[in-house]
Structure 1
């Protein structure tokens, strides 16, 4: 008896026309039946925002051959919610993949990332989920070095599944040759942020967020270290934000 191909949901935050999602669709088509639900425009930095104060649009589009595709006016997290409820009609896809994002989502960036939030939403829906990001912000980024590793990680997740409440954050360095994959922890690193203050033609102040990336972590088991040393980083991520190590401490306080 022939085994049915897995159903694979593809989402992103750079928009349905982004080259990164085109590259991801190409790989996923070799692994299963692909359904795409993606924002109708860029949604970078949206985090896990959802749309509750205005109606959502969901329109079928024909961009790539043999792929069922929809664009939505919503956020990356909205994309997954709409996919599960309106496209799959409550059935769960076998895999949810998000990306490939133009730019890294390592260390603290995972909190702000629309790419990763789409994958998190997939995991919340009990779908094995992966977020993919590449260290190249340019529109015409060459994803060819990433694609074999994208395929391998997706194949392994389809084969083995993931622990409940867990998803994968996969980042690729921009190098000639990726050495391999390192299973990592999230680095203690963030942006030292500044705001560039300017004035508009009406003499009103406005601000652009800027800053420099600072790594406060010398560990050789982190995503930052792996990427700096030409490895793809794979960090298992959970959406349970409970600081379990702090429960004992808080129980020692005199609340009552």
Structure 2
């Protein structure tokens, strides 16, 4: 292990304080030092956060912030990757590709307003219906009821994921409850088409339909490759055949 981080010149460890809420910890436990050593392909070492703090520069140049060595290599699929060796409290992660993480951090540093939108997409992929509702309710409060701005968040298309919408993500990840929630909020699908369970869930969570929003029906949004969420669903007939046949996903 290298002695110090190339960025901050501190030892390649971090100090973790004992969790006061952890019943397994005894009173008087001392803080614990654990490794935090990210080795780049060039051999330079950084703390994880120290490298992320330089994501904008690194994403633009694709070079080491310390020695300026060009970092990416080609994977068997032809995609570039920055393969690193990372040691932390969980152990060793070899050949860890940090290019997606650096790209995301650089994008969010330049576009901080996208953080809630990307959190929203993550919740859609995980099927976290209550989390989605809470996030949108919080956003609505922050936006002072600006329906158009809330609609933009709901219809956000992720440039780091090929321009996919939340509906694309939910369909890909087979999250049916999320699909119905998004259709309830941001589509013009007639209310009587929704299953009773979906209507009851939306009403129970006090989710309103954006009837005053003039934005595009979420079903009509196309990813960068031109596909709609319905097109994605057609490629997964075992999961979405019934909804596709019923035209539910067609704008």
Task: Tell me, yes or no, whether TM beats 0.5.
Answer: no
Measured against the shorter chain, the TM-score band is under 0.3
Q: TM-score, normalised by structure 1?
A: 0.23
Q: Which has the higher strand share?
A: 1
| TM-score, normalising length: structure 2 | 0.23
Higher helix proportion (structure 1 or 2): 2
Higher relative contact order (CA 8 A, sep 6+): 1
**Whose radius of gyration is greater, 1 or 2?**
2
